[in-house]
Amino acid sequence: MRQFTPAQLDAYLRETPTPPLLLDVREPWEYEIAHIEGSTLVPLRQVPELVNREDPEREIVVICHHGIRSHHAGLFLEHHGFRRIINLAGGIDAWARQVDTDLPVY
């Protein structure tokens, strides 16, 4: 699993011709506070449902509050054959502090 800092992910999203799935694994109440535009909310407990729903060849950026839950989700997905996983190091908290400072932090 690759790790991107918020700045690396921001640059990557601006440059890539095929955007990855931005998979936010936090709880709905957290997502309501702050999220990356275009991200998809799938709480961590529902990540196993993705195994049969998503293309294992699709690139997925996993996001949570600080990067711990997303790391676990990424490991789970890799264990089930997904090979193009990127974890957002520092999570939405780091993203809000370093990239999109208009987002609230909590």
| Residues carrying an active site annotation | 64
**Nearest-10 crossing angle of helices 6-15, 91-98:** 80
From 86, 82, 88, 81, select the one nearest 58 (Cα to Cα): 82
DSSP result, 39-91: -EE--GGGGGGGGGTS-TTS-EEEE-SSSHHHHHHHHHHHHTT---EEEETTH
From 13, 2, 1, select the one nearest 100 (Cα to Cα): 13
